[in-house]
Every structure is written in C-alpha cells, then in structure tokens.
Amino acid sequence: MAKTNLLDKLAILSDAAKYDASCASSGSAKRNSLKSGGIGSTEGSGICHAYAPDGRCISLLKILLTNFCIYDCVYCVNRHSSNVRRARFSVEEVVDLTLNFYRRNYIEGLFLSSGIIRNSDYTMEEMVRVARSLRLDHGFAGYIHLKAIPEASPALMEEAGLYADRLSVNIELPTDVALSQFAPEKRPRDIRRSMGHLRLKIEEQNDAPSTGGKRPPRFSPAGQSTQMIVGADGADDDAILARSENLYGSFRLKRVYYSAFSPIPDASSKLPLSRPPLMREHRLYQADWLMRFYGFERNEIVSGGDDGMLDLAIDPKLAWALKNRGRFPVDVNRADKEALLRVPGFGTRAVNRILSTRRHRTLRLEDVGRLCQSLAKVRPFITALDWSPGGLTDLNGLRGKLVPQPAQLDLF
C-alpha cells in the first residue's frame, strides 16, 4: 500500500472515530518531531487520551478499521446511506501503524472500533485478529480498547477479552424505543446479552484463584464501558441517568460515556438540527459521578417536580444542596464521611484530607481552605472551629452568589 494511501486512510478513519466519546480529545500534535503530516506524525491522526485503570492519562491511536457499514443508524455519519469518503484498513495495516506509533512513543495503546462489514462475526473477527497479532505475534504490551459488536458470537467476544484491556459495547441511546427508531438493525436484547456475557467473563476470570502457581488468563482487566448519545432523541436527563443507573447495577460497567449528539451532513428529519449544549454533557458526567462516588440516588439529583433536566447553570451537587438547606451547615470536625461528601465544593480527595487532618487537630476555616479548592463555595454549607455561616445558608440570593462565571467549570 502506497504511503499516501495509508495516510489518506488514517485521515479518514481517525476522523470517523472521533464521534466515539470513550476517549476524549483527538489530534494532539504534542510529541511530533517529524515533519507535519509525515508517517508517525500525530497531527490530525487520531491520538486521543483516555484513563488507564491505574488513573494515568494515556494516549491512544483511535481509529476505525473501516467506516464502511451495512447498518443505517440515522445518527451516524458512517451509516450505509451516508455520502462520506470510505476507507478500510487491512488487519496488517492497523498492526503496523500501532507498532510504529508505539515504538516512536507517540501512543501507549490502541482504541479500535469499526463499521459493520459483511456481518457482525466477520467484523469482530477482523478486530480480534488485530489484537491477537499485536499480542501474540509482536508481544505488544500497550493498552488495547476494542469496541465489541453486540451481535457477534460469544466465542469471538471471549477471545477479544483475552487480548483487550477494555471492551465496550455501545448502548447508543437511552431507551429501547429510541434505539428501534434510530438504529433499526440494532437490537437492545443483543446489546444487553453481550454486556451480561462480558460481565460474567470478567468476574469469572479475574476472580478465579490461581491454580498450581499459574495465574488464569486475564479477561478485559480494565472492565467494560459503554457510550450513550445525548440529545438525538427526546430523552430527558432523568431517563438518561436511569439507563446509566441500570447499566452500572446490572453489568458492573466501569464507565458510561455521554456523547452530545453532533449534527451530521444529509441528516434524517428525525434528528434535531443542532447539537445540545455541551454543558448538558458536562452536567450528566457530574451527576454520574455523584451516583457512583458520592452516595447520591438518581431521584435526589433529578427530582420528581423538575422537568427531568439537570440545571445547566449550577452543578448538580450545588443544586441539591440549595434544595435541601435543612441538611446544612455540616460540621467539618464531626460530620461523617457521607455528610461531608454532600457539601458543595468538597470532592472525595478534600473529604479524605479533612478526615485524616481532623484526627490530629480541630479544623478552622483557614484549614478547610487549604484542603479544598473553593472556600467561597463551601463557606455557606459548613461550620468549623472559628466559623459559622449564620444566615448565609438560608440566604435568598445564595444561588446567585454561587453561580460560577461562564468560564468556570469546576467539579464539585
């Protein structure tokens, strides 16, 4: 394959992969010492960043094997009826690209997805061949994230899990009704069955005791994740979070990624004309974190009387605190961990630091300021040795005082 051809494919297939939110940004040009656009250049070639299980931010080559697809999901730029440039990598080309980028230190791994070619098993087999060749033929020790095709055979899923660090099956849309309207070839039952199968394999292999000094083979050690498109159908935030809550509970997913719908060329009239505000995606991630790490129930975050949507102007924890002022102020020197985690402005790290510091001394407001990021946000909701908010907690205009300026986006 001529070099320009390969670069062309790389441009098309990395661009086509950018709609998947499972790794964040793309197009990093940071470590590129070669002439821009050369082989190995990271500029515009789909280097994205993701978090490894140990919390490190790693760079991944994020590409599709092909953007040909026999399915016609209306929200997807790669759907069968879409008029886009198509390309397809061979298995060997993906393996070579990954190894070349890896050896040059541009990436620490591969994120591979694909349109459906011929059928689900054929497509999954091609993706498994990439991972198998990298691991077994080349001893590749980098990170591999494979998108699993829900309808593919269980045997292929099982082999994929032996090579991939993480597998993900996309749930695509918040409700089964929306999925049948927008992605008629996809079946919710298949998606759930695949997720259930992966859950069983992950738990079975990774919890198995070693026998005779031999560790059992790893199976998708970084677990499974999924992606949900936000704003393509009419689902409100409550419905989206309800689906996430169900997925975390039923399939022990590591992450649900929320991807704000992007308008696509020649789009179906079923789709909205504009994308939802990016802030909506951000608020959903915050709400998701509150459910997973802060002990909140979904119905506390988006409560019954609301319109089912999160407040775009303030983060969901602050919104909850303003609706539940009777729960405050919280005494930073006595409150238990659960109560501290509910204070706006305290993240999990700040709470852990407060708990360990107060073992040695009684905390003053100044101490709290050193342990958290925004004392201004915290002050109305806490008491400390030398601080009581007085009427501040119940102040009518408190919300106005705490609404951040548009440029400020902070996590709790």
Cβ-based neighbour number of residue 12 at 10 Å? 20
By beta-carbon proximity to ligand SF4, the closer residue of 68 and 248 is: 68
By beta-carbon proximity to ligand SF4, the closer residue of 48 and 149 is: 149
By beta-carbon proximity to ligand SF4, the closer residue of 149 and 321 is: 149
Which one-letter DSSP state was computed for residue 70? Answer: S
Angle of the 237-251 helix axis to the 278-293 helix axis, nearest 10: 40
Radius of gyration of the chain (CA): 24
Considering the complex, what minimum distance in angstroms separates the CB of residue 64 from ligand SF4? 8
Considering the complex, what minimum distance in angstroms separates the CB of residue 81 from ligand SF4? 9
Helices (H) and strands (E) in the chain, counts: 15, 9
Cβ-based neighbour number of residue 69 at 10 Å? 22
DSSP string, 95-111: HHHHHHHHHTTS-SEEE
By beta-carbon proximity to ligand SF4, the closer residue of 195 and 290 is: 195
Q: Where are the alpha helices (DSSP H) in 62-169?
A: 91-103, 120-132, 154-163
Considering the complex, what minimum distance in angstroms separates the CB of residue 23 from ligand SF4? 17
Considering the complex, what minimum distance in angstroms separates the CB of residue 250 from ligand SF4? 22
Distance CA 291, CA 310 (A): 14
By beta-carbon proximity to ligand SF4, the closer residue of 183 and 335 is: 183
Considering the complex, what minimum distance in angstroms separates the CB of residue 103 from ligand SF4? 30
Considering the complex, what minimum distance in angstroms separates the CB of residue 154 from ligand SF4? 19
By beta-carbon proximity to ligand SF4, the closer residue of 116 and 341 is: 116
In our burial notation (b when 16+ CB lie closer than 10 A, e otherwise), range 262-285 reads bebeebeeebeeeebeeebbbbbe
In our burial notation (b when 16+ CB lie closer than 10 A, e otherwise), range 122-155 reads ebbbbbbbbbbbbbeeeebebbbbbbbbbbbeee
Cβ-based neighbour number of residue 211 at 10 Å? 8
Q: Which residues bind ligand SF4 (CB under 6 A)?
A: 69, 71, 73, 76, 78-79, 115-116, 183
Which of 244, 243, 205 shows the shortest CA–CA distance to 223? 205
Considering the complex, what minimum distance in angstroms separates the CB of residue 18 from ligand SF4? 13
Distance CA 241, CA 287 (A): 8
By beta-carbon proximity to ligand SF4, the closer residue of 60 and 69 is: 69
Considering the complex, what minimum distance in angstroms separates the CB of residue 227 from ligand SF4? 10
109: its two tokens:
């791994």
By beta-carbon proximity to ligand SF4, the closer residue of 76 and 134 is: 76
